[in-house]
Every structure is written in C-alpha cells, then in structure tokens.
Structure 1
C-alpha cells in the first residue's frame, strides 16, 4: 500500500470518527440540557458530563476545520486570523478536556466517599465548587494557550516554521518564552493526569471493598445488586484509564512530529485519530452506562416498532 492510499484511508476514517463523536456528544449534551429544563436540577456528575460533552463538540469541530480545505475556504476571515482562531480554540478545548475529565474523577470520588473521608466535607456544596472549577479551568486554559494567538501563522515560504496542520504553522519564538509556555502546559497536564491516577486508585479500592461486601452478601444467600454508585464509579474508571492511555500515545506521536519539523499528512491525520478516540468513545460509554438514557431509548424504540 503506497503513501497516498494510506493517506486516503486514514483521512476517511478520521472524518467518519469525528462525525460519530460530534453526534454522540451532541446527544449527550442535549439530554442533560433537557434534563435540567425538566427537573430543574442536575447531579454533580451530570454537570461535569454536560461540560465535557460541550468541550468535545468544540474540539471535534475545530479539528475538522484544521484538516478540511473546504471548511477553511468557507470562512471569510484572512488565512492568518483563521489559523490563530482555530489553533487557539483547539488547544483550549484539549486542555479543558483533560481538566474536566480529571474533575469528573474527583467528583465521583467525593460522591462515593464515606463521611470519614477528608473530601466528604465538599459534598453539601459540591455543585457550587464545580462551577468555580469550571471558571478556573477556562481562565487557566485561555491564558496558558495565549501563545497560539501570537505565534500561529498561515503557511508561507519561511523556513523557521513548525507545521501543525496543512494550512497553519507556528513561528519560532524566544527560547525563554517557549520554555515558559512549555513548562506551564506540561505542569498543567501532569497535575491533571496525576489527579486522575490518584482518583482511580481510590475508586479501585472502593470497588474492591464493594466486591468483598457483595461476596459476603452472596454467601448469606442475599442476592446482591449493582448499586448506581458502583456503576458510575466503573464508568468513570473506564473513562480515566482510556484517557491516560490515549494521552500517552498522543505524546509519542507528537514527539515524532516535533522531531520531523515538517508537515506529514499521514502522521498528522494519525495524530488526529488518536486525539479524537477519547472524544468519540467517552460519550458512547457515558450513554451506555446511564440508565436514564437507556430507558428513554428503549421507550423510543418501542414506539417506533409499534
């Protein structure tokens, strides 16, 4: 298989994957908006899930713009402004995806924690703390990715550019500024991934304890049932584990892109596929694991088949 065929296959899979991701996240987002409109209240995990779905929609749309020539041409802005906006929004949404996933794991830990746990004191006003966290995440990511506005440029004949898409590049920057933004971005990612791992450890301990309790109930001839807390914890644990794996793979591909220092269509689309795997799979996992959504889908299917 030649390079052109590989490029066409990866590009086709990329757009198909992005389409599925946008539809799934849009469904999840609309469901939670409809829920809050009907019951006028959202659970803490619902608030975080709704925010995550919105961020992923923005993330998928901007990555489609980065790779679609037709979409780029439809915009009436200058090429320079288009590159700055698209790269900036793309980087901000990626940062928000990391931080929101980390918050989702922390919220779940607080939700399932007993009263003796140190974080249990946040339960009463957890929704207020989540709103504050959203504000902090947006402020942090909007500021930490501000270098995209300054250094993102449209392709030109200059040689000192790092090509990040088919149409956009990053111009060279002062070594001190580059080190500052790199350190900030790395510290931010390490912190949030670290919080995911710590939260995952606690949730694994919780599930093991719950499993021992279930075995005891089974030995007492009491039929154990899967509690909503356990189901939600398993869902968050799957999401966090999947995110960490995809994040590591993305870091490996990104390092190759940086070393090459030039535009490679196949490598770029491959990186886009890896980045969008989590944004596509996460809403599907959340939809399948939410009993409320399953009940609605079953009722809709029953009405259609009548």
Structure 2
C-alpha cells in the first residue's frame, strides 16, 4: 500500500508540475499574441513544443496518475484508443519540433562563410511549413490506432492484450506492426541523430567563438556571452535533456519488450521517464537567459500597463 502511495505521489507531483508549467507558457504566448507581439522563429517552434508537451501531460500524465492510485480500466476501448492516438501524435510532434529547433539554431549560428550560407537566409521560411507537415504526418500515420484497434474488425492477427493500467489494447503481429515501426520509430531515430549532429555543430561553433574572443576579454570587455550564444546554450540544454530522457526511456522500453517483463515497477519507471521531458522542458525554457523569460517579463509589463491605463 505504501508503494502505491509513493508511486501515486510521484506521478501526481510530476503531472501537476508539468501541466502548470506548460500551460503557463501557453498562457503567456497566447496573451502576447493577442496584443500583436511579433515572435522570433525560435519562439514559434517553442510554442509548438509546448503545445505538444501539454497534450502529452494531459493524455499520459493524468491517466497514469489515476492508475498509480489504484483507479484502473476507467477508459473503455474507444477512449483508450483516442487517448493513445493523442499521446502518440503529441510525442511525435514534440520530438520533431525539438529537432527542428536544434537544427534551426545550428544553421543560425553557423558562420556566413560556411556551407550553410544559403540555408541561413531561407531557414526561417521553411520552419513554419516543416512543423505544419509534422503535425499532418503524425496525425495521419497514427490513424493506425483508431482504424485498426476495434476487436470487431475480425483481424486474425489480434493476439493478446497489453494492459496499460488505465486501459488495455489489442496487440497485433505482422504487417501492421512493421508499418508502425517504419513510420514511427525510424523517423524518431532520424530526428535523434539530427539533434546529436546539430548539437555537436553548435558546441564546436561556441567553442571556436569563445577561443576567438579570449583576447577581447583580456581587453577588459564584459565576459558575459552574447545573447545569441546564451540562446544557443539554452537550446543545447533543452536538446541534451530530451536526448537523455528519450534514450533512457527507449532503453527501459526495449528491455521490457525484449524479455516480456510485466513488472509493475518497471512499467511505472518507464511511464515516469517518458513524461520527464514534457515536465522539465518548460523549466529549462523559463531560465533567466532564455527568450521565454524575457517574453514573460514583457507580458507582465503589458498587464501592469493595462491596469494603469497607460
């Protein structure tokens, strides 16, 4: 009983913190948007990451918290199917948008004489359409859940159920799983590889810039990094946080799947890790040097100004 209470407490703290943090950012962005504020390209990408993370916390965090407190199978097959659909779409978009943010910042910080010279001028116009296509792609691909989940479709490849605690779904073998692996897991591996490449590129650029600026710092100029360097460091922190938790959750999931383990604690650990990034990412974005912090300050100033009718 004490173990159930501990698990429930951990899930509750994580879910409440993640929902409050993500919705605070969304409230800030929506309010500034209504005032006609013009966002930078990186802010637009962060908005999509925040929306996706909010959906993850709602579709994954709340059900797993209720399950941890002993409330099980409260979703019927229809609800279970669409909760999983929303979660998978949001997870895919979160990964893709974080990758786009990392690659965009790497292109933006690259020297003008590099091979990315042409991309520096066109990257901004490609960001919006890229994120839009990510939403459409994952919404279409993940239709495999609502279209092929009904037991009444008389599929012969329905084998056994997977119990998620709050609901259970039929597992399928053969071509359905193969297509899902091709369209879901391979792109995730590709996005992770792109994030590692862009992060390495940004680290090299920052190191080279720091080396070049050492003699200027000796001339008693401020040692504080430039705004662009600070933004790059914050995006690197965000990407490293994502890659760390994604790798850890994938490792735990692979271990559970490979050995067909049904340990409740291992599944709880996997669920906790899989929602760590949506919980922590808003806190990374709210650090004092990030643009979101500055936007939040401007938002409070606009509210204070409105209250005084200025």
TM-score normalized by structure 1?
0.84
| Number of equivalenced pairs | 291
Specify every segment of 5 or more residues in structure 2 that has no aligned partner in the other structure, as ranges: 152-157, 305-310
Unaligned runs of 5+ in 1: none
State the partner residue of 1:285: 284
Correspondence for 2:102: 105
Q: Deviations over 1:28-49 (max 9, x none)?
A: 1222223333343110100011
The match for 1:265 is 264
> Cα RMSD between the aligned structures?
2.8
When structure 1 is superposed on structure 2, of 26-35 and 90-99 the one drifting more is: 26-35
SS of the residue corresponding to residue 225 of structure 2 reads coil
Which aligned pairs between 1:1-306 and structure 2 lie closer than 5 A?
A: 4-67=1-64, 68=66, 73=74, 79-152=76-149, 160-259=159-258, 261=260, 264-288=263-287, 289-290=289-290, 291-293=293-295, 295=297
Task: Compute the displacement of 1:93 (Å).
Answer: 0.8
CA deviation string 1:7-65 (max 9, x = no partner): 32122111211111111111112222233333431101000111111110111000134
* TM-score normalised per structure 2: 0.83
Displacement, 1:297?
9.2
Alpha-carbon distance in 1 for matches of 2:111, 2:72: 51
- 3-state SS of the aligned residue for 1:136? helix
Distance 2:259 2:60 in 1: 21
Residue 205 of structure 1, CA deviation: 0.7
Partner secondary structure for residue 172 of structure 1:
strand
Residues 294/132 of structure 1: CA separation in 2 closer, same or farther (3 Å cut): closer
Q: Secondary structure at the match of 2:172?
A: coil
Q: Give 3-state SS (helix, strand or coil) of 2:220's partner.
A: coil
Q: How far did residue 263 of structure 1 move?
A: 5.2
Deviation at 1:295, TM superposition (A): 4.1
Deviation at 1:5, TM superposition (A): 2.8
Higher helix share: 1
Closer/same/farther in 2, CA of residues 38 and 45 from structure 1, 3 Å limit: same
Q: What is the distance in 2 between the residues matched to 1:131 and 1:164? A: 38
